[in-house]
Structure 1
Amino acid sequence: MGFGVRQFELALMHRMRDLNAERVEAAIEAIGASRAELRAAHTQWTRILHVRKGPAPLRAALGPPSHRGPQPFGSLTCEVLRWALPSWPELAYEVLLGPGGQVWNQWLVRPGGPVTLTFEELTPWRCVVADVQASFPGAAHGEGQAPHHWAVDFTHQDTTYRARFVYGLYQRLDVLRR
């Protein structure tokens, strides 16, 4: 069985089920996939990553990146690769490569830069980490509880929230303190 864009999206969704199972169920139904196909894509992607490292598996699955360019970080210059994915047309899957070509980070981003959202506009699968950072001054980033999970804590109207992300894509909001 080949591994292409559809299987890659399903592999991403498999991890997203950790935080937003209902949204993933709706998405796989909308694209005509089954839970078995979701699991098979995740298993196959995991096997591929154990054999091949760096960006090569992504290039094999997704083709050439739609964007490739340098990204300065202090005194380092890294390389950024981006691919468009049908399930998230306003976003791109971004891979940040360190100076030695190793993958430093990979997640969904908004190619044109973050948008500012109101609290009411925080909608699962519609915004990314940078959007929440730009929308809520003082937001603090943190690691999530599993691989490819991320968290952003922020305060809105005297309540502290934790926005949870998988592969940089917003999944759900938890109340931390009132």
Structure 2
Amino acid sequence: MTFGVREFELALMHRMRDLNPERVEEALREMGASRAEVRAAHAHWTRLAHAPRAPKGAAALRMALGPAPYRGRRPAGSLTCTVLRWTLPSWPGLAYEALLGPGDELWNQWFVRPSGPAASLTLADLAPWTCVVADIGASFPGAVQMEGPAPHHWTVDVPSGGRTYRASFVYGLLQRLDPAPATG
């Protein structure tokens, strides 16, 4: 089995299925993919991640997605990082971004909006698979980012209309929006 763009998308969807199984099932129907294909793609990607001779980090992303159509630089504190971006068919208007530190070490990978975060979104605009973490920060002053419960998961508490909602993200892509748990 080769590992290309389709398999990479399916491997991402495997993780997204934890939080948004209905949207993943819809996407699989649109792609003509089966659950078995998702499991196989995830297992293959996991094997590659642990195989001693397989490419790692950004090299693994290049192996699956090809050369990055966008390559740039971004300051991060006292360092300058390399930014790589790919567009993926299942998420038009967004890009999958890899942030590389010194020695091309993969520091982060997630979805971004290449044109910059969408500002002035309302709670009603926060639809799964259409928003990224930066959109929330740009649209909701006072939003609080937190680590999620698993690798590549983020949560953001979003204040709106006197209430707080919890946005759950996988690879920086919104999966669901729920009332935030009560604190006390």
TM-score, reference length from structure 1: 0.97
- 1:83 corresponds to: 86
- 2:19 corresponds to: 19
Matched residues in 1 for 2:81 and 2:25: separation? Answer: 36
Contact 1:8 1:61 in 2 (8 A): yes
Q: What does 1:1-178 correspond to in 2, within 5 Å? A: 1-51=1-51, 52-116=55-119, 117-176=121-180
Matched residues in 1 for 2:86 and 2:50: separation? Answer: 22
Deviation sequence 1:2-61 (CA, Å, 0-9, x none): 000000000000000010000000000110000000000000011111123221111011
TM-score, reference length from structure 2: 0.94
Paired AA for residue 140 in structure 2: F
Matched residues in 1 for 2:69 and 2:146: separation? Answer: 29
5+ residue gaps, structure 1, are none
Paired AA for residue 105 in structure 1: N
Instruction: State the Cα RMSD in Å.
Output: 1.0
How many pairs are equivalent? Answer: 178
Paired AA for residue 65 in structure 2: L
- Percent sequence identity over aligned pairs: 67
Query: Following TM superposition, by how much is the alpha carbon of 1:100 offset from its aligned partner in structure 2, in angstroms?
Result: 2.4
Paired AA for residue 10 in structure 2: L
SS in 1 for 2:23: helix
5+ residue gaps, structure 2, are none
Contact 1:159 1:177 in 2 (8 A): no
The runs of at least 4 consecutive aligned structure 1 residues that moved more than 2 Å come to: none
